[in-house]
């Protein structure tokens, strides 16, 4: 073997993972141990150009595409370190990992460490990743949790994995001599499971293995399996099943009776969770061929050998049927097992029972062609575009349709005849399965069934300011599966309402939506163009018990997601000095506060009675826009809608410096485009209000440009246009 020039060679198989490689290399640059080289094997792609730390000793290898196995083999050949560590391009290491591995390094000794999984980029993981991952655990498990001995590599590296494909060589410190002299190489015929035979051969041929409790290999799961699937997320069932059996066969040569139980158990779980379900979905010929291959695979251990593996009844029966090559019995047993599990869940869970009835009973019933279901903000309010579509339909087509509104448990105050149902009640599932028309301003449940003849109108709920769905890198405020779930949900949308060209363009790429886009403006903004504006303003003020002779300031700040001090315990510190504002402006103005509903009850405005009003729980913010003379906001998208009134807007951005990192996640440059001044103090806000005419003049050109871009489609007839398209479209009949 050639002379070793450094302690460790880190081999990275790179296949154009541009969005991940920066974190991967940054984690290496910040290692506390620096006696290593990086072998970056570019597998059928160009070398990355951005985010390459200058301090790293990187050897770049260019090759035609051969897959992960071929790239790692090329890395082994190029490596000059005494030891080799395999690192995937989308993963990263804790800062002390290489030092921890080197600390335990001995000649002919394989060192292994703990692995963890995360959905997040390195920065997010370092800041709060472990907590987020714990909250968003979406892992399924192949079998029961198994207590493992970390000092036993077969248990720790195999039994401790959740899936067959999770068995890997990643994060091991492997003597290069062991790889070169045996020789040990990855099988390039295997795309998904090439690690498994290599790991088993390494463990079989290594004179010694050592567990190091320090250091962590961080496996990053992809939150966008639609555009950027990892190998685990690729939909390639036929090949994955074939490779599972092939890799088991190859690896079995290196497994003895003493150390093989964990290995064979994990394959049995693979049969239960992957191979048997695949056979259910397969056509007869493919099912028969799979059963034949499975029989040959299971015969490697044999009937007596499998009898010694600790398995429960279901996997043991599948093993028996597999050894007999009986595809029909495998399928029947798997189906019956699934039915028993479903029956148990249905009988013991009210929620599961509703879902079952929805999918198996209600969705098979006759569709109600005159039924329209409306939902606004998950049933929390009677508001937004669904409200104005509902009112237009009642005024224009009285008696033609039956209506059903979804509520969140509290009855909505509706001006026209309509039934109501609580979200996720039995009634909800019954009508969601049968109504022809569905009008939502948010996402439908993940399990929604799009029946033939269903018409789904998605109005959405605002011009996008913060980046959405597929334009986001990390998803920290929703499930890590958010992107995949969103993609599936949008496939059911027949129509999507866009308020302006900018929004349409964003919706197309952020939602990956290629369906019908309604270029109508938002129905919720029709009220801002009403002909009887003065009359409505008086009525709204009377409804809210507001003085008719005072000008109105609407303060609508965005929700800061760091404003809490415990689970479901929210705080809010009002930065506007209401006492000073009342003293300086109280003769001319009153102020309405519209904050996030999380903190609606936190505000105590009792000492400002007659000047400040808490309307955070008022359903329809559009009606508050209509009566307001000035809007004060910050980073909330409310200003897109309010601009339709062409009234002054002030932006109270007191925490601008703190928020700059957030602003980078916005679609627009707020400091360049906002049609009003950005103010940092209450005194500046008061000064702007006292000189509001000067503000209007100063920002006139910018305001005009803003309206041309974001309000051009709004004219007060959006509801009419939407209804005439959706409910008169011949294709929907």
Q: How far apart are CA 276 and CA 282, in angstroms?
A: 10
**CA 375, chain centre distance (Å):** 22
Inter-CA distances, 520 with 491, 625, 724, Å: 21, 20, 11
Dihedral over Cα of 220, 226, 228, 230: its sign? positive
Q: Taking 50 as the threshold, does the pLDDT of residue 165 lie above it?
A: yes
pLDDT tens digits, one per residue of 114-156: 999 999 999 888 887 667 766 666 554 444 455 778 999 999 9
Report residue 263: phi and psi, to 5°: -65, -50
- Give the pLDDT band of residue 330 (cuts 50, 70, 90): very high
What average pLDDT does this structure show over 279-285?
Answer: 95
- Give the pLDDT band of residue 569 (cuts 50, 70, 90): very low
User: How many distinct helices (H) and strands (E) make up the chain?
Assistant: 30, 23
| Across 19-23, 118-122, 199-203, 604-608, least confident range | 604-608
Q: Do domains 363-525 and 531-710 have the same CATH topology?
A: yes
**CA 53, chain centre distance (Å):** 29
* pLDDT at site 600: 52
Pairing mode, if any, of strands 569-570 and 564-566? antiparallel
With tokens 């509290």, the residue in question is 410
pLDDT tens digits, one per residue of 49-75: 888 999 999 999 999 999 999 999 999
* pLDDT at site 635: 85
* pLDDT at site 140: 47
Q: Please say whether the beta carbons of 670 and 650 come within 8 A.
A: no
Q: Taking 80 as the threshold, does the pLDDT of residue 358 lie above it?
A: yes
Mean pLDDT computed over every residue of the chain: 92
* pLDDT at site 240: 97
Superfamily of domain 6-232: Spore Coat Polysaccharide Biosynthesis Protein SpsA; Chain A (3.90.550.10)
Strands of the sheet with 109-118, listed across from one edge: 92-93, 208-220, 109-118
Residues 6+ apart with CB under 8 A from 465: 635, 636, 637, 640, 666, 667, 668
* pLDDT at site 129: 64
Q: Please say whether the beta carbons of 699 and 675 come within 8 A.
A: yes
Q: Taking 80 as the threshold, does the pLDDT of residue 517 lie above it?
A: yes
More confident residue, 579 or 480: 579
* pLDDT at site 128: 75
Distance from the first to the final alpha carbon of the chain: 76
* pLDDT at site 480: 86
User: What pTM did the predictor assign?
Assistant: 0.89
What average pLDDT does this structure show over 500-511?
Answer: 97
Query: In DSSP terms, which residues pair with 556 in a beta bridge?
Result: 633
Q: Taking 70 as the threshold, does the pLDDT of residue 560 lie above it?
A: no
* pLDDT at site 479: 83
CATH 3.40.50.970 fits 363-525, yes or no: no
Q: Taking 60 as the threshold, does the pLDDT of residue 77 lie above it?
A: yes
Instruction: Retrieve residue 273's tokens.
Output: 């969770």
- Give the pLDDT band of residue 686 (cuts 50, 70, 90): very high
* pLDDT at site 565: 42
Selected from 3.40.190.10, 3.40.640.10, 3.10.450.50, 3.40.50.12580, the CATH number assigned to the domain covering 531-710 reads 3.40.50.12580
Percent of the chain with pLDDT over 70: 93
Q: Taking 90 as the threshold, does the pLDDT of residue 256 lie above it?
A: no
Burial of 547 (0-12, 13-18, 19+ CB in 10 A): exposed
- DSSP for 46-93, written as a single string: PPP-SS--TTS-EEEEEE---HHHHHHHHHHHH--EEEEEEEETT-EE
Across 472-512, the runs of DSSP E, i.e. the strands, are 495-498
Q: Taking 60 as the threshold, does the pLDDT of residue 571 lie above it?
A: no
Q: Which of 207, 112, 119, 216 is nearest to 168 (CA)?
A: 112
Q: Which of 467, 402, 410 is nearest to 435 (CA)?
A: 402
* pLDDT at site 487: 96
Inter-CA distances, 120 with 124, 390, 687, Å: 6, 41, 44
pLDDT tens digits, one per residue of 449-499: 999 999 999 999 999 998 999 998 888 777 888 999 999 999 999 999 999
pLDDT tens digits, one per residue of 175-216: 999 999 999 999 999 999 999 999 999 999 999 999 999 999
Measure the CA angle with vertex 524, ends 522 and 525; round to 5°. 70
H runs (alpha helix) in 525-655: 533-543, 578-585, 621-627, 638-642
| Across 58-72, 117-131, 222-236, 667-681, least confident range | 117-131
Domain spans in the chain, listed from the N-terminal domain onward? 6-232, 235-348, 363-525, 531-710
* pLDDT at site 671: 87
Q: Which of 97, 96, 14 is nearest to 58 (CA)?
A: 14
* pLDDT at site 656: 83
Q: How far apart are CA 461 and CA 438, in angstroms?
A: 16
What average pLDDT does this structure show over 670-696?
Answer: 95
* pLDDT at site 346: 92
Pairing mode, if any, of strands 81-88 and 174-175? antiparallel
Inter-CA distances, 480 with 35, 124, 162, 485, Å: 36, 13, 18, 9
SS3 180: helix
* pLDDT at site 724: 96
Q: Which of 236, 94, 111 is nearest to 165 (CA)?
A: 236
Residues 6+ apart with CB under 8 A from 436: 367, 368, 369, 370, 371, 372, 453, 454, 455
- DSSP for 258-316, written as a single string: TT-HHHHHHHHHHIIIIIHHHHHHS-HHHHHHHHHHHHHHHTTTHHHHHHTS---HHHH
**For the chain, how big is the Rg over CA atoms in Å?**
31
* pLDDT at site 135: 66
Q: Taking 60 as the threshold, does the pLDDT of residue 170 lie above it?
A: yes
Query: Which of 16-20, 87-91, 564-568 shows the highest mean pLDDT?
Result: 87-91
What average pLDDT does this structure show over 525-536?
Answer: 96
What average pLDDT does this structure show over 1-26?
Answer: 88
Q: Supply the angle between the helices 384-396 and 718-726 in degrees, to the nearest 10.
A: 70
Q: Taking 80 as the threshold, does the pLDDT of residue 663 lie above it?
A: no
With tokens 């005009």, the residue in question is 704
pLDDT tens digits, one per residue of 421-445: 999 999 999 999 999 999 999 999 9
């Amino acid at each position: 073997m050639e002379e070793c020039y450094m302690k460790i060679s880190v081999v990275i198989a790179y296949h154009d993972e541009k969005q991940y490689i920066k974190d991967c290399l940054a984690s290496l640059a910040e290692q506390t141990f620096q006696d290593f080289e990086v072998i970056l094997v570019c597998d059928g792609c160009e070398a990355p150009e951005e985010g390459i730390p200058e301090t790293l000793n990187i050897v770049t290898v260019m090759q035609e595409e051969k897959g992960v196995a071929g790239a790692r083999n090329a890395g082994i050949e190029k490596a000059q370190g005494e030891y080799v560590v395999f690192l995937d391009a989308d993963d990263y290491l804790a800062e002390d990992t290489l030092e921890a591995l080197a600390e335990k390094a001995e000649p002919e000794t394989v060192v292994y460490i703990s692995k963890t999984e995360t959905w997040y980029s390195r920065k997010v993981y370092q800041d709060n990743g472990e907590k987020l991952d714990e909250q968003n655990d979406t892992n399924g498990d192949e079998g029961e949790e198994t207590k493992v001995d970390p000092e036993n590599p077969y248990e720790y590296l195999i039994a401790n994995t959740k899936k067959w494909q999770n068995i890997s060589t990643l994060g091991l410190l492997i003597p290069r001599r062991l790889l070169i002299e045996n020789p040990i190489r990855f099988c390039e015929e295997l795309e998904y499971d090439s690690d498994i035979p290599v790991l088993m051969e390494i463990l079989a041929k290594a004179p010694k293995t050592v567990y190091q409790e320090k250091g962590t290999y961080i496996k990053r799961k992809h939150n966008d399996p639609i555009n950027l699937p990892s190998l685990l997320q690729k939909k390639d069932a036929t090949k994955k099943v074939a490779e599972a059996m092939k890799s088991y066969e190859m690896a079995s040569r290196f497994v003895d009776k003493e150390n093989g139980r964990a290995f064979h158990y994990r394959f049995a779980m693979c049969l239960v969770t992957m191979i048997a379900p695949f056979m259910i979905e397969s056509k007869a010929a493919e099912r028969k061929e799979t059963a034949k291959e499975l029989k040959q695979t299971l015969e490697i251990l044999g009937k007596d050998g499998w009898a010694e593996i600790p398995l429960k009844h279901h996997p043991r029966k599948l093993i028996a049927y597999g050894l007999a090559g009986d595809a029909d019995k495998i399928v029947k047993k798997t189906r019956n097992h699934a039915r028993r599990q479903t029956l148990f869940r249905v009988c013991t869970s009210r929620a599961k029972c509703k879902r079952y009835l929805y999918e198996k009973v209600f969705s098979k019933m006759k569709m109600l062609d005159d039924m329209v279901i409306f939902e606004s903000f998950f049933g929390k309010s009677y508001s937004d575009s669904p409200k104005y579509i509902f009112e237009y339909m009642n005024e224009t087509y009285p008696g033609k349709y039956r209506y059903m509104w979804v509520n969140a448990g509290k009855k909505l105050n509706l001006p026209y005849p309509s039934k109501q149902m609580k979200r996720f009640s039995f009634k909800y599932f019954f009508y969601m399965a049968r109504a022809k028309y569905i009008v939502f301003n948010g996402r439908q449940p993940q399990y929604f069934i799009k029946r033939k003849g269903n018409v789904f109108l998605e109005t959405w709920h605002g011009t996008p300011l913060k980046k959405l769905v597929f334009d986001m890198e990390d998803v920290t405020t929703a499930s890590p599966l958010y992107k995949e779930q969103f993609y599936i949900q949008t496939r059911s949308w027949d129509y999507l309402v866009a308020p302006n060209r900018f929004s349409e363009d964003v919706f197309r790429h952020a939602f990956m939506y290629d369906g019908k886009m309604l270029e109508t403006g938002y129905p919720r903004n029709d009220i801002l163009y009403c002909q009887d504006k003065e009359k409505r303003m008086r009525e709204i003020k009377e409804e809210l018990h507001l003085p008719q002779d005072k000008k109105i300031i609407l303060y609508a700040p965005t929700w800061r997601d760091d404003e809490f001090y415990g689970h479901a315990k929210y705080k809010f510190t009002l930065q506007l000095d209401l006492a000073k504002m009342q003293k300086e402006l109280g003769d001319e103005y009153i102020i309405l506060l519209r904050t996030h509903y999380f903190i609606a009850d936190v505000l105590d405005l009792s000492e400002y009675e007659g000047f400040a009003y808490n309307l955070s729980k008022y359903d329809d913010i559009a009606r508050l826009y209509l009566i307001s003379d000035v809007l004060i906001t910050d980073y909330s998208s409310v200003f897109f809608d309010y601009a339709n009134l062409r009234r002054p807007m002030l932006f109270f951005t007191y925490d601008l410096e703190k928020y700059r990192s957030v602003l980078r996640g916005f679609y627009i440059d707020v400091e360049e485009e906002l049609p009003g001044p950005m103010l940092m103090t209450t005194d500046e806000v008061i000064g702007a209000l006292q000189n509001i005419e000067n503000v209007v003049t100063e920002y006139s050109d910018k305001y005009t440009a803003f309206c041309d871009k974001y309000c051009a489609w709004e004219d007060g007839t959006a509801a009419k246009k939407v209804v005439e398209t959706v409910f008169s479209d011949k294709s929907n009949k």
